[in-house]
Structure 1
Amino acid sequence: MRKTTSKAVLALGANLKVRGFEPHLTLRHAIDAILRQGLLIRAESRFYATPCFPEGAGPDYVNAAVLIETERSPFELLQILHGIEHDYGRERIQRWGMRTLDLDLVCYDDLVLPDREVFQSWLSLPPEDQKQQAPDQLILPHPRVQDRAFVLVPMADVAPNWRHPILDQTVMEMLAGLPSDDIAAVTPL
């Protein structure tokens, strides 16, 4: 019996050298590591230069996105991503800021995890609380996807028609709702 596959979008980012590699090379190596884990990459975005978030927290980032197809659960994917991050020197010390490698599971089909009520609480978390609080469980879709040009611009390359299961907007519609300066700051390499 054939297992069911799902599609997921992974966001990739880096703004620090690791092992002497510039961030864009780290992302290329991370994509290779994703493939070595047996994940099927269906689409890969361009690489983008993006301002560090939050502003002033470090050097500018290189960001990208990949659309994968997998039989693995979201929780298995998260473990794989954390393992790859660890291999590239990622330490989970500060909430936002500099990263040797950041791999985020942005969405997994139209799944909402852990449930709509918990998702809604993270979606509506005030900006000041977002700086201080991090979820202790997987939240899907990523509760800030609609706010971040550095995620949506690359995501538009690989899954422009993915529809947010709570906001009922496509990637392109969410992107159109962002300030034009935020979008313009995300530039292809």
Structure 2
Amino acid sequence: MAIETALDPEELLQCLHSVEQKFSRVRKQRWGTRTLDLDLISLGERVFPDPAIHQHWRDLPLEQQMSQTPEQLILPHPRMQDRAFVLVPMCDICPEWRHPILGKTAAELCAALPKSDLEAVLPL
């Protein structure tokens, strides 16, 4: 989903979490199964909170990604370029969106993913 908002990133994320709560989302396990998951992937061309922190979280090894949680929101989402389940639907609504740090469009990022990852994303 793409929206326009005057909210700052943390306010928007709080709104998303409120929607999840209304649908009885319970946060039990990081990267666990969930009934509803609303993520804030990007906010236009903003890099939040800053490029250095973004770089740190983007470069973390997978093992650390799975066990560590950032203290603040990181935008664009530091793992979005690795996730077909993010990029395939993103290409449906904004294929020309350009990653403000990597400089590639959503379509280019999606095309760089393994074919097996892309084929695993199925429309509902």
Class of the TM-score when normalised by the shorter of the 2 chains? over 0.9
Residue aligned with 1:155, SS? helix
TM-score by length of 2: 0.96
Offset from partner CA, 1:133-163 (integer Å, 9 cap, x none):
1112110000110000001000001111110
- The match for 1:161 is 96
* Counterpart AA for 2:38: L
Equivalents in 1 of 2:25, 2:95: separation in Å? 29
- After superposition, residues 64-75 of structure 1 pair within 5 angstroms as 66-75=1-10
Greater RCO structure (CA 8 Å; 6+ sep): 1
Percent sequence identity is 57
In proportion to residue count, which structure has more helix? 2
CA distance in 1, matches of 2:24, 2:61: 31
Q: What SS does structure 1 have at the residue aligned with 2:21? A: helix
Larger C-alpha radius of gyration, 1 or 2?
1
Moved more, 69-78 or 157-166: 69-78
In the TM superposition, residue 72 of structure 1 has moved relative to its aligned partner by 1.6
Matches within 5 A, 1:1-189: 66-189=1-124
* In structure 2, C-alpha distance between the alignment counterparts of 1:95 and 1:154, rounded to whole Å: 22
Q: CA RMSD of the aligned region, Å?
A: 0.9
Once residues 65 and 10 of structure 2 are traced to their aligned partners in structure 1, the CA distance between those partners, rounded to angstroms, is: 23
More strand by share: 1
* In structure 1, C-alpha distance between the alignment counterparts of 2:50 and 2:6, rounded to whole Å: 21
Runs of 5+ unmatched residues, structure 1? 1-65
Distance 1:136 1:86 in 2: 21
How far, CA to CA, are the matches of 1:187 and 1:101 in structure 2? 17
The alignment covers a number of residue pairs equal to 124
